[in-house]
């Protein structure tokens, strides 16, 4: 009798660009204050990539870190998946650029677009591919350079975002199953609340789209906030149910880091004490699809979680999309 294929998390990694942009720096750029940004968002600083440092470069460095932690060579990977909203180019995919840097030629590579929920969507895709037997070892990356799609004159958005990348290596296993559950959702009716208008087929690049700054992220923050909280609670609750675990079984909750007030509201509604919630937004800002994986990697590297601890990742983003995954720490 064939046993069901399980998924083992072999390792995680992350990378942040060196340059730090503080709230004090932003005070010199737009009409804002450290006090407003800190109290309204929880962010103190964020990392910003260099001009000649594309998203695939951050993805590459995070991948090397993850491969080292997994103790395997790039040649062992048989699929590369990159979750990103800020790719190097629309075509080819950032995953192809990453493959070129890493070296495992001919293996399939593609990008996955689900905004800030991208990494959770990626976990679901990787899990399904492995369980189906189609691929054995998958490199899943969340990589973003939101700074390159930000209107640096718009105080409503420019104080929020940052750059970074995280990676996870997942592999087929007969003995282990580290992905206990994944729950995903989306509702395109909210596409006008958080979006990047131009550069696609609706508004191909023109002088007008450039002059109107339509190639940068637009957000109706207050409306996004209102929907983010219940959807993150829903996703977290559903994924927990699917995993067969109880709230008390979860060692650490790792929510998407978009706003400290959202994180606190989600924790309060779920009845989770904040000492069980991972927070690093103060030093990263919102890095979209890179958020949950870089936070997980930091939690592992700082021994906030240890082998076999159960962790829940929870995300929400443009689309709207949302999702949560209950996983066992490798
Ligand atoms: O990652 C994907 C999901 N994204 C999110 O979940 C983000 C969700 N939204 C948020 O995090 C918050 O809505 C924001 C942080 C974006 C904004 O916070 P808010 O408490 O909702 O503020 P607001 O947009 O309602 O604006 C309040 C005031 C306004 O002034 P008036 O109209 O009351 O005079 C804004 O113009 O704050 C003003 N404001 C600022 N003031 C200083 C907006 N941005 C700034 C700023 N500095 N940077």
Rounded to 5°, the CA angle 92-12-177 comes to 105
pLDDT at 16: 98
- What are 25-63's pLDDT values in tens digits? 999 999 999 999 999 999 999 999 999 999 999 999 999
pLDDT at 162: 98
Residue with the larger pLDDT of the pair 3 and 79:
79
* Residues recognised as catalytic: 116, 256, 286
* Ligand 1 atom 15: residue of nearest CA: 41
In the chain, % of residues over pLDDT 90: 97
The pTM for the full model equals: 0.97
Please tell me the number of Cα atoms within 13 Å of 114 on its side-chain side: 25
- What are 128-159's pLDDT values in tens digits? 999 999 999 999 999 999 999 999 999 999 99
pLDDT higher than 80, residue 1:
no
Please tell me the number of Cα atoms within 13 Å of 225 on its side-chain side: 12
Q: In what order do the strands lie in the sheet with 179-186?
A: 179-186, 321-328, 310-317, 252-255
Domains belonging to the chain, first-starting first, are 6-177 (3.40.47.10), 180-328 (3.40.47.10)
Choice from 156, 228, 282, 286 to test ligand 1 binding pocket (greatest atom count within 8 A of CB): 156
pLDDT at 300: 98
User: Mean per-residue pLDDT for 287-298?
Assistant: 98
* Ligand 1 atom 8: residue of nearest CA: 225
- How high does pLDDT run on average in the chain? 97
State how far the alpha carbon of 288 is from the alpha carbons of 75, 102, 316, in Å: 28, 23, 9
Strand partners, 142: 83, 166
pLDDT higher than 80, residue 66:
yes
- What are 87-134's pLDDT values in tens digits? 999 999 999 999 999 998 899 999 999 999 999 999 999 999 999 999
pLDDT band at 190 (very low <50, low <70, confident <90, very high): very high
User: Mean per-residue pLDDT for 5-14?
Assistant: 97
Distance CA 192, CA 80 (A): 31
pLDDT higher than 80, residue 2:
no
Q: Which atom of ligand 1 is nearest to the CA of 219?
A: 16
Ligand 1 neighbour 195 (Cβ under 6 A): no
Residue 80 burial (10 A CB sphere; 0-12, 13-18, 19+)? buried
3-class state of residue 34 by DSSP: helix
pLDDT at 4: 86
**E-assigned strand segments in 25-93:** 45-48, 79-83
Compute how many other C-beta atoms are within 10 angstroms of the C-beta atom of residue 248: 8
3-class state of residue 28 by DSSP: coil
Structure tokens at 30: 């737009």
pLDDT band at 20 (very low <50, low <70, confident <90, very high): very high
The DSSP letter of residue 270 is H
Ligand 1 neighbour 224 (Cβ under 6 A): yes
pLDDT at 36: 98
- What are 234-245's pLDDT values in tens digits? 999 999 999 999
pLDDT at 74: 96
pLDDT at 330: 83
Distance of CA 327 to the CA centre of its chain: 15
| Residue written as token pair 């983010």 | 228
pLDDT at 235: 98
pLDDT at 104: 81
Ligand 1 neighbour 85 (Cβ under 6 A): no
């Amino acid at each position: 009798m064939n046993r069901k294929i399980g998924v083992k998390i072999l390792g995680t990694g992350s990378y942040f660009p060196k340059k730090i942009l503080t709230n004090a720096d932003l005070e010199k750029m737009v009409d804002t204050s450290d006090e407003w940004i800190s109290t309204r968002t929880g962010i103190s600083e964020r990392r910003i990539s260099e001009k000649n440092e594309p998203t695939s470069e951050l993805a590459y460095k995070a991948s090397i870190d993850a491969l080292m932690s997994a103790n395997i060579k790039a040649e062992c990977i048989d699929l590369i998946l990159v979750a990103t909203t800020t790719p190097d180019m629309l075509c080819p995919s950032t995953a192809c650029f990453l493959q070129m840097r890493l070296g495992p030629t001919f293996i399939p590579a593609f990008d996955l677009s689900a905004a800030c929920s991208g990494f959770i969507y990626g976990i679901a895709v990787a899990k399904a591919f492995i369980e189906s037997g189609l691929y054995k070892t998958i490199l899943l990356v969340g990589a973003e350079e939101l700074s390159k799609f930000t209107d640096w004159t718009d105080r409503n958005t420019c104080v929020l975002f940052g750059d970074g990348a995280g990676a996870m290596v997942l592999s087929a296993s007969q003995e282990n199953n580290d992905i206990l559950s994944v729950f995903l959702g989306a509702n395109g009716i909210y596409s006008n609340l958080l979006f990047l208008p131009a550069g696609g087929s609706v508004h191909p690049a023109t002088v007008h789209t450039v002059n109107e700054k339509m190639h940068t992220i637009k957000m109706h923050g207050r409306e996004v906030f209102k929907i983010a909280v219940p959807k993150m609670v829903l996703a977290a609750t559903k994924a927990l149910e699917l995993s067969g675990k109880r709230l008390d079984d979860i060692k650490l909750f790792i929510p998407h880091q978009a706003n400290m007030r959202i994180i606190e509201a989600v924790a309060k509604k779920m009845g989770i004490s904040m000492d069980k919630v991972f927070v690093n937004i103060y030093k990263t800002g919102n890095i979209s699809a890179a958020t949950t994986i870089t936070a997980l990697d930091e939690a592992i590297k700082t021994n906030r979680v240890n082998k076999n601890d159960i962790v829940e990742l929870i995300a929400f983003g443009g689309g709207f999309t949302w999702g949560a995954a209950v996983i066992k720490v490798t």
